[in-house]
Structure 1
């Protein structure tokens, strides 16, 4: 399939309304190329930004790009986009140069181009995550390698919330333990748990794509016999007794099943939670305490919080 890349050269002020126009025109997402991004200080530790090319950015202003399927209505769609952007001046919005260019993109090129931005990343003392398409030689004898085939749905496991979760697993998982991974996503925490000594991990996710992704990544890392990936709504109906439960999802979701987590944990078991923004930290802490947990550790990375709680 062929796609048309619609690129609008505009201003920072116009990015949001133009993005909305593109969404309403059938684009499923937009790309914003702002030269200021190259001036920001970033921690490449997380592997989220790699080797930005100055040639991809305008000297001034911003590129807003969208990808629209090429069909018989394309010309009409582009003309409507141009008119809608021009109309923004009626709302006193500076649209800058307002240059619109069109490029033809092959789907296979577009679908794989994102891979260039993901490289091997060491995210804890022992664990390094590598995309399946990258070669990597371990730098120490005790280094644990997790291969990931993230597709375009769940990322490569290098987000700060995942890093916080894996660092907690590395410090707290005991040999031969049973782990429950709630909201497993790509399965990176499930795989890490086995590599760090767990005997079995029960990986649950409501999204069928996530369930399949977890199974694929477990097999890639040769732990498919120890990672049991199942479709499930949080911990509803689960009766597995665990030594550790890990959940890297939103704070608002975590508080929905803390009581179930408490019941399923063995005495002294740990509940590792992440995906919590700073403003929701107290909400989660108080909820955990209210069902009987003891808070033993709170960690922060960028704007994200991880809370480790123990069942007495």
Structure 2
């Protein structure tokens, strides 16, 4: 079957004219478009400050002054005629870029290859299943197309390295801020008896369960909950009914700091609280909070400006 080609159409507009442009395109029959807008981007960042420590400067620069609308037509006579119809009455500059069918769904796969982490873990995209694996490695199968963490970011890699040391075979693990589930799934593959995972994003449960299924892990060993342990007292109490030899938190400093006051409630007496997602300039602040709350840091790892800390009850 011949590869379908698409045109990505980008219309630039002053922000004051955005609403009118969207109304015109809708009236002309455009049945779907996306908006890139610097002000919305800034508002999103401001409203979600508790979930990030660092925004890439290149991304900020790319969004500077941006206000544009994007939509798609097929790159053929029909699509170009449709483009003329959809742009009727729109007196604004626009540009087009050709995309292939594979550009939508498959081309990104070339960027994800099996990846060694630490001494034992081998992170494998699910479409690479069946490829030869180095001897002695423990595979963790993931679908990187599911938008959450894939193990390539330094903060996740640091946490995975810690998992190799602190996962206790035959004992459970608690993963706070699980995202794709990569950490708790890796712990299960390393021998943990069961894992409970929590994330504030309700979509995370479906993603984590799907990735768990890729690893042959069912709900008899893996439980994922949506909620915020910092604000949901019922959820915090439910999690506190059990003690864990390993509690994970790959989040950001502004969440780990208040979480440090609760982490001890979930730990066994000699359990490890392994936290990551900390930019190096805030590591001292996080360590101070941990120690204020009775957790003594005994191991620090660093990679590319990111830090993970391992702590026990002091």
Q: Which runs of 5+ in 1 are unaligned?
A: 9-17, 31-63, 83-100
1:179 aligns to what?
173
Deviations 1:54-87 (A, max 9, x none): xxxxxxxxxx9x982237545776x6355xxxxx
Q: Note the 1:266-277 alignment, pairs <5 A.
A: 266-277=268-279
Any idea what SS the aligned residue of 1:199 has? coil
Any idea what SS the aligned residue of 1:256 has? helix
Deviations 1:263-287 (A, max 9, x none): 1111011100000001111111000
1:150, CA displacement in angstroms?
2.7
User: Do the aligned residues in 2 keep the contact of 1:129 with 1:148 (CA within 8 Å)?
Assistant: yes
Distance 1:138 1:102, change over 3 A: same
Distance 1:243 1:4, change over 3 A: same
2:291 maps to which of 279, 289, 294: 289
Distance 1:124 1:3, change over 3 A: same
Is 2:300 aligned against 1:298?
A: yes
Mapped to 2, the partners of 1:298 and 1:20 lie a distance apart of: 48
User: TM-score if structure 2 supplies the norm length?
Assistant: 0.70
Mapped to 2, the partners of 1:111 and 1:189 lie a distance apart of: 26
Distance 1:152 1:108, change over 3 A: farther
Deviations 1:23-64 (A, max 9, x none): x7844599xxxxxxxxxxxxxxxxxxxxxxxxxxxxxxxxx9
1:151, CA displacement in angstroms?
2.2
Q: Which runs of 5+ in 2 are unaligned?
A: 22-33, 39-65, 73-82, 231-235
Is 2:202 aligned against 1:208?
A: yes
2:109 aligns to what?
115
Q: Note the 1:1-312 alignment, pairs <5 A.
A: 4-6=7-9, 26-28=34-36, 68-70=70-72, 73-74=86-87, 80-81=92-93, 101-105=95-99, 109-135=103-129, 136-140=131-135, 142-224=136-218, 225-234=220-229, 236-237=236-237, 238-239=239-240, 240-312=242-314
User: Do the aligned residues in 2 keep the contact of 1:183 with 1:234 (CA within 8 Å)?
Assistant: no
| Number of residue pairs matched by the alignment | 247
